[in-house]
Chains A and B, each alone.
Chain A
Amino acid sequence: MIRSPFRPQAVPDAGILDNHRALVRQVTRRGMFRRGISLGALTMLTGCNLSDDASVDAALRAVSAFNDKVQALLFDPNKLAPTYPESMVLKPPRFNAYYPIDKVRPVDGATWKLEVSGRVSDRAPWTTARLAALPQTDMVIRHVCVEGWDYIGEWSGPTLKSFLHSVGADLNARYVAFHTADDYPSSIDMATALHPQTLLALTYARETLPDPYGYPVRLRTSTKLGYKNPKWITAIEVTNDYPGGFWEKSGFGWFAGI
């Protein structure tokens, strides 16, 4: 193994992390996040008692909440994300979930119903046929994962905006929340929900969405990181109460704009 000439000869005592083992372990998903909550980051939290897990947790979450607000302020609801030629589409797309591929539980599209709740006037459940009857939008966009990888994919389906109009949603509500067949709750802000490149995707590369990628319907938004795109959606709720999300519970940023 070749040792990098830029690697420091001595590193700070990592013992301080022992005191915060529970907090660091809580974010078990990816090494990047564990490194984020490290000695360097902790020393930036001046005024915090570093032996107090709760205060460190609260401070980090306060920074994250502040970042969410900044991102919401900067979000331009009319600005489109870059699109690409169909020749660049990766077929099949990359699989990712919080569990391995063999744990995917396919959804039966014939009996599947999409429940609608919250601040809407029409709560009648939706079928795939009804979603397919809405005007369809096709977009070739880049999927960007918080882990650092990305790919270009082609998605089609009704815009979430047209769906929300159809169910008589309160478009002044703050959040649109999603429940999924794989217990991956998620939510986005209303401005992003109404963005023209936020789809309830029914197809990939002009073919029905395959099972591992969220059949029969998943969210695809061009303006947020991959983990904000829940698959196998079973229910949509329009609400003013912060719904959070699967990774957000573990400290991932909620707005997650790109």
Chain B
Amino acid sequence: MQRRALVALAGAGLIGAVAAGGALATSTTPGQALPSMTGDLKRRAAAFPQPVRVGDLAGRAVLGPMEAQPLYGRVDAPPVVRGADGTLFLVVTRAGWLGLGAWMGLGGTPAAVPLDDAALLGEHIALVGLTRAELDALPSFRDAGAAPVPADTVIRMGIVGPFH
């Protein structure tokens, strides 16, 4: 038992020594767009759409598709609405001033994002078809004319892997 503990300590020390180097290193520029963002990310994300329950989308973080995965906003409740022509939209509360809108549900304004401009990134959502500027430029979403999709409805969304 004692031998095991000593070996463990030695191992932990060496792991720590290697990890300690990390603090001094430089990293990729935050916010730097990956090449995948320059055009075909939306097409890629649509390769293997997966079923997801609408109610499971509420509150998810909406992230930018770049290494830093910046927080752009959060999925509202109800999360998905159907437009007059049947198109599905994800309702996203934009981060707003200092990001407080996204964190606390305060101050940010909601926008209706076409569903295929968003993709599942694990428990988050990645914005794959709109830039941050395009998201910010969307008009503030009003409920008029759009029907909330019931929480138990299963829709299909594209998926992507992590960007970091």
Instruction: Please report A residues at the B interface, Cβ cutoff 8 Å.
Output: 11-12, 14, 30-32, 34-44, 60, 63, 66-67, 70-71, 73-74, 90-97, 100-102, 104, 145, 147, 149, 151, 210-212
Contacts and interface: CB of A to CB of B under 8 A. Distances in A.
A187 B19 CA distance: 25
A66 B28 contact: no
A40 B23 contact: yes
B159 A95 contact: yes
A97 B24 CA distance: 29
B97 interface: no
Contacts of A40: 20-25
Given A70-B7, A210-B50, 18 more contacts: A31-B67, A31-B164, A35-B22, A36-B18, A38-B24, A44-B21, A66-B14, A91-B52, A92-B52, A95-B122, A100-B44, A101-B44, A101-B48, A101-B160, A102-B44, A104-B47, A211-B48, A212-B48
B164 A101 contact: no
Nearest to B17: A44
A63 B56 contact: no
24 contacts: A11-B26, A12-B24, A35-B25, A39-B21, A39-B25, A44-B18, A66-B14, A70-B7, A70-B8, A70-B11, A74-B8, A91-B51, A91-B56, A92-B50, A92-B51, A92-B159, A95-B161, A96-B161, A97-B161, A101-B48, A101-B158, A145-B162, A147-B162, A212-B50
B134 interface: no
Given A36-B18, A44-B21, A92-B50, A100 B162 contact: no
A31 B66 CA distance: 13
A147 B164 contact: yes
Interface in B18-40: 18-28, 36
A31 B50 contact: no
Nearest to B67: A31
B138 interface: no
Contacts of B162: 94, 96, 145, 147, 149
B48 A104 contact: yes
Between B25, B51, B123, the greatest number of chain A beta carbons within 10 A of the residue's beta carbon is seen for: B25
B20 to A, nearest CB: 5
A101 B52 contact: no
Interface of B: 4, 7-8, 10-11, 14-15, 17-28, 36, 43-45, 47-48, 50-53, 56, 67, 120-123, 158-162, 164
Given A38-B24, A101-B159, A73 B18 contact: no
Contacts of B45: 101
A230 B63 CA distance: 27
Contact of B18 (A41, A90, A151): A41
B48 A34 contact: no
Nearest to B45: A101
B123 A151 contact: yes
Given A74-B4, A94-B122, A151-B122, A41 B52 contact: no
Contacts of A41: 17-18, 20-22
Given A44-B18, A66-B14, A73-B4, A90 B160 contact: no
A180 to B, nearest CB: 17
Contacts of B159: 92, 95, 101, 212
A90 B122 contact: yes
B28 A67 contact: no
Contact of A38 (B10, B21, B43, B56): B21
Question: Which 7 residue pairs spanning A and B have beta carbons closest together?
Answer: A41-B21, A40-B21, A94-B122, A70-B11, A35-B25, A38-B25, A102-B47
A74 B15 CA distance: 15
Contact of B161 (A30, A34, A90, A100): A100
A104 B26 CA distance: 32
